[in-house]
Structure 1
Amino acid sequence: MPDSTVLLRQYAPTTPQGYGRPVVIGHRGASGYRPEHTLASYELAARMGADFMEPDLVATSDGVLVARHEPEISGTTDVASRPEFADRRRTVLLDGESATGWFTHDFTLAELKTLRVVERLPGVRQQNTLYDGMFEVPTFQEILDLRTRLTAELDREIGVYPETKHPTYFRELGLELEGPLVRALREAGLDRPDAPVFVQSFEAYNLREMYSDHGLRAPMIFLTCSSGTPYDDPRGYAEYTSPAGLRELARFAAGIGPHKSQVIPCLSDGTLGTPTSLVADAHAVGLAVHPYTFRAENQFLPADYVVEGGPNAFGRAIDEQVAFLRAGVDGLFTDQADIGVVARANFLATTD
Structure 2
Amino acid sequence: MQRAMLAALCAAVPGAGLAQDAGADAPAMSYGQRPAHLVGQLEEGELRSTLEACLGDVPERTAFSIGHRGAPLMFPEHTVESNEAAARMGAGILECDVTFTADRELVCRHAQNDLHTTTDILTTDLAEKCAEPFTPASADAEASAECRTVDITLDEFRTLTPKMDAFDAAATSAEDYQGGVADWRTTLYADGATLMTHAESIRLFDALGADFTPELKAPVVEMPYEGWSQEDYAQAMIDEYREAGIDPSRVWPQSFDLADVRYWIENEPEFGRQAVYLMDEYDLDGYDPDDPSTWPQSIAELKDMGVNYIAPPLWMLVKLEDGEIVPNALADAAREADMGVITWTLERSGPLADGGGWYFQSIADAVDGDGDYLELLDVLAQDVGVVGVFSDWPATVTFYANCMGL
What TM-score does the superposition give when structure 1 sets the normalisation length? 0.75
Residue 228 to residue 342, structure 1, CA distance change in 2 (3 Å): same
**Count of residues in Structure 1 that have an aligned counterpart in Structure 2:** 298
For the pair 1:53 / 2:94, whether they are aligned, the reply is yes
For the pair 1:242 / 2:295, whether they are aligned, the reply is no
Q: Report the CA distance between 1:182 and its aligned residue.
A: 1.1
Residue 74 to residue 265, structure 1, CA distance change in 2 (3 Å): farther
1: CA distance, partners of 2:161 / 2:221: 25
Does the 8 A contact of 1:224 with 1:237 survive in 2? no
Residue 167 to residue 71, structure 1, CA distance change in 2 (3 Å): closer
1: CA distance, partners of 2:379 / 2:316: 14
Q: Secondary structure of 1:172's match?
A: coil
Q: Deviations over 1:205-247 (max 9, x none)?
A: 1111233245553510000035235xxxxxx995355244333
From 306, 309, 313, the equivalent of 2:368 is: 306
- Per the alignment, residue 288 of structure 1 pairs with 340
Identity fraction in percent: 25
- Per the alignment, residue 160 of structure 2 pairs with 115
Does the 8 A contact of 1:78 with 1:117 survive in 2? yes
For the pair 1:81 / 2:123, whether they are aligned, the reply is yes
Q: Secondary structure of 1:292's match?
A: strand
Over aligned residue pairs, what C-alpha RMSD do you find? Answer: 3.0
Residue 170 to residue 220, structure 1, CA distance change in 2 (3 Å): farther
From 148, 154, 157, the equivalent of 2:206 is: 148
2: CA distance, partners of 1:189 / 1:59: 22
For the pair 1:224 / 2:279, whether they are aligned, the reply is yes
For the pair 1:339 / 2:396, whether they are aligned, the reply is yes
Q: Report the CA distance between 1:287 and its aligned residue.
A: 2.0
Unaligned runs of 5+ in 1: 1-20, 93-98, 152-157, 230-235, 308-313
Residue 127 to residue 298, structure 1, CA distance change in 2 (3 Å): closer
- Per the alignment, residue 260 of structure 1 pairs with 314
Q: Deviations over 1:1-31 (max 9, x none)?
A: xxxxxxxxxxxxxxxxxxxx87111111111
From 85, 105, 109, the equivalent of 1:68 is: 109
2: CA distance, partners of 1:182 / 1:117: 26
Amino acid at match of 2:150: H
From 246, 250, 256, the equivalent of 1:190 is: 246
Does the 8 A contact of 2:67 with 2:95 survive in 1? yes
Does the 8 A contact of 2:264 with 2:275 survive in 1? no
What TM-score does the superposition give when structure 2 sets the normalisation length? 0.66
Q: Secondary structure of 2:111's match?
A: coil
Structure 1, 161-170 or 284-293: larger mean CA deviation: 161-170
- Per the alignment, residue 195 of structure 2 pairs with 137
Q: Report the CA distance between 1:289 and its aligned residue.
A: 0.1
Does the 8 A contact of 1:326 with 1:347 survive in 2? no
Q: Secondary structure of 2:117's match?
A: coil
Residue 272 to residue 242, structure 1, CA distance change in 2 (3 Å): farther
For the pair 1:325 / 2:370, whether they are aligned, the reply is no
2: CA distance, partners of 1:264 / 1:169: 35
- Per the alignment, residue 73 of structure 2 pairs with 32
Amino acid at match of 1:114: T
- Per the alignment, residue 172 of structure 1 pairs with 224
For the pair 1:278 / 2:330, whether they are aligned, the reply is yes
1: CA distance, partners of 2:103 / 2:293: 33
Amino acid at match of 2:282: S
Amino acid at match of 1:248: D
Q: Secondary structure of 2:110's match?
A: coil
2: CA distance, partners of 1:117 / 1:279: 37
Does the 8 A contact of 1:114 with 1:136 survive in 2? no
Q: Report the CA distance between 1:277 and its aligned residue.
A: 2.9
- Per the alignment, residue 162 of structure 1 pairs with 214
1: CA distance, partners of 2:153 / 2:321: 47
Q: Secondary structure of 2:91's match?
A: coil
